[in-house]
Amino acid sequence: MIIIGCSNSKDLAKRISSGLDWEYSSLNVKRFPDGELYVKFDVNLKNKNVVLVQTLHPPNEALLELILASHTAKDLGCKKLTLVIPYLAYIRQDKRFNAGESVSSKIVGRLLSVADEVITIDPHLHRFKSLSEVFKTKTIKLSANDLIQDYISKRFASPVIIGPDAESYQWARSIANKINASAAILEKERLSSSKVVEKLNSEVSVEDKDVLIIDDIISTGHTILEVIRIIRKMKPKSINIVGIHGIFTDRSVLDFIKEYSDSIATTNTINNSFAKIDVSGLICDSLK
Ligand code: R5P
């Protein structure tokens, strides 16, 4: 067994390797003068079970590196190839919204299906019901929900969980159920052409409560910031943010989130300064 850390996930790959006591090697990645990627394995892969760990944010170079590495590992005669992709980019491009668009998720899935198995964490499945609609190989979908539940229950006695919208509410609801907390989703109701009220979809009160806003992906941060803006008016005791995948593309939005919230935490599927919830054990259990 050998764990290979690709450029975006060396730390996580090392944690997985020490958790399992399996050999570790970093993928050797360089750049030719014209910008093309050079990828080399520094260990012999022949007849080995090889695990490549690469999260797909930032996405594009990481994806190309993973495609080159996975096809090369197969060429070099590895026995079994597993891809651990903690954050699976491109999965939200799951239909042709406008004529002429690429359904990128399917193309990415095909290119990575050279592997014998793909393991990922909380992929944003919306129109796809299962990863088998994306990949042509075996897939394993892990969830960080139990880790997030642990994180919350160690810190908050009786929190209220808020999901920003219907698409991501599945995560908030499932975590709330596990810790027996109240959960609600924010809804906008149009009262007239000029009047819209924002309200919670249930009778839950957040006044004087620790509020946990949970989303699967924090990308620009606009969704979270909008929820903070509304929840603040409801006089909670504290506002806390939990994201599974922390991308944080917009620094100025992040500054506002920091200013108006009491804590921010994400998992370490993507390296970022709020990655307090470690998913390496979850991945180790799945690889075992
Ligand atoms: C959307 O369906 C997702 O669950 C997230 O709510 C969304 O990706 C967040 O994006 P942003 O941080 O850019 O508002």
Question: Any idea what the CATH number is for the domain that residue 239 is in?
Answer: 3.40.50.2020
pLDDT at 169: 84
Give mean pLDDT, residues 115-144. Answer: 96
Task: Say if 255 falls within a structural domain.
Answer: yes
Task: Say if 246 falls within a structural domain.
Answer: yes
pLDDT at 167: 80
Strand 2-5 to strand 49-53: parallel, antiparallel, or no bridges (unpaired)? Answer: parallel
**Beta partners for 28?**
40
- 132 and 171 co-located in one domain: no
Give mean pLDDT, residues 135-143. Answer: 98
Three-state secondary-structure class, residue 141: strand
What is the best residue among 169, 222, 223, 250 to mutate for testing ligand 1's pocket, by most ligand atoms within 8 Å of CB?
223
Task: Say if 54 falls within a structural domain.
Answer: yes
- 214 and 243 co-located in one domain: yes
- 223 and 193 co-located in one domain: yes
pLDDT at 49: 98
Burial readout 136-153 (b: 16 or more C-beta within 10 A, e: otherwise): ebebebbbbbebbbebbe
* C-alpha pair distances (Å), 132 with each of 91, 96, 150, 161, 269: 12, 18, 30, 31, 21
CA of 215 to the centre of ligand 1 (A): 7
Using a 6 Å cutoff on CB, does residue 17 contact ligand 1?
A: no
Torsion over CA: 65, 70, 76, 81 (sign): positive
* C-alpha pair distances (Å), 5 with each of 135, 215, 275: 22, 27, 18
Task: Say if 58 falls within a structural domain.
Answer: yes
**Predicted confidence (pLDDT) per residue in 65-90, tens digit:** 999 999 999 999 999 999 999 999 99
- 10 and 126 co-located in one domain: yes
Question: Which residue in this structure is represented by tokens 């790959």?
Answer: 13
pLDDT at 240: 98
pLDDT at 168: 78
Using a 6 Å cutoff on CB, does residue 221 contact ligand 1?
A: yes
H/E element, 217: strand 210-218
Task: Say if 273 falls within a structural domain.
Answer: no
**81 exposed, middle or buried (CB, 10 Å; 0-12, 13-18, 19+)?**
buried
Choice among 169-173, 199-203, 239-243 with the minimum mean pLDDT:
199-203
**Predicted confidence (pLDDT) per residue in 229-268, tens digit:** 999 999 999 999 999 999 999 999 999 999 999 999 999 9
Q: What amino acid is encoded at 160 in this protein?
A: V
- 181 and 111 co-located in one domain: no
Distance CA 283, CA 130 (A): 19
Domain containing 93 equals 2-143+280-287
Identify the DSSP state of 192.
E
- 23 and 54 co-located in one domain: yes
- 204 and 217 co-located in one domain: yes
Identify the DSSP state of 131.
G
**Does the structure show a pLDDT above 80 at 98?**
yes
Task: Say if 244 falls within a structural domain.
Answer: yes
pLDDT at 246: 98
- 45 and 109 co-located in one domain: yes
Q: What is the mean pLDDT of the chain?
A: 95
Q: What amino acid is encoded at 259 in this protein?
A: E
* C-alpha pair distances (Å), 268 with each of 65, 203, 223: 20, 34, 20
pLDDT at 195: 72
CA of 217 to the centre of ligand 1 (A): 5
pLDDT at 252: 97
Are the beta carbons of 67 and 56 closer than 8 angstroms?
A: no
pLDDT at 121: 98
Distance CA 250, CA 254 (A): 6
Number of CB atoms found within 10 A of residue 122's CB: 23
Overall size of the chain counted in residues: 288
Using a 6 Å cutoff on CB, does residue 218 contact ligand 1?
A: yes
- 17 and 125 co-located in one domain: yes
Give mean pLDDT, residues 144-153. Answer: 96
CA of 176 to the centre of ligand 1 (A): 19
- 152 and 241 co-located in one domain: yes
Question: What is the pLDDT confidence band of residue 117, given thresholds at 50, 70 and 90?
Answer: very high
Q: In the 3-class helix/strand/coil scheme, how is 178-208 assigned residue by residue?
A: HCCCEEEEEEEEEEECCEEEEEECCCCCCCC
Task: Say if 263 falls within a structural domain.
Answer: yes
Q: Is 283 left (phi over 0), alpha (psi -120 to 50) or beta?
A: alpha
Task: Say if 101 falls within a structural domain.
Answer: yes
Q: Which atom of ligand 1 has the smallest separation from the CA of 124?
A: 4
pLDDT at 192: 75
Number of independent structural domains in the chain: 2
pLDDT at 145: 95
- 8 and 120 co-located in one domain: yes
Q: What amino acid is encoded at 199 in this protein?
A: K
Tokens of 38: 């050079």
**Predicted confidence (pLDDT) per residue in 20-52, tens digit:** 999 999 999 999 999 999 999 999 999 999 999
pLDDT at 171: 87
- 136 and 212 co-located in one domain: no
Using a 6 Å cutoff on CB, does residue 232 contact ligand 1?
A: no
Are the beta carbons of 39 and 29 closer than 8 angstroms?
A: yes
Using a 6 Å cutoff on CB, does residue 164 contact ligand 1?
A: yes
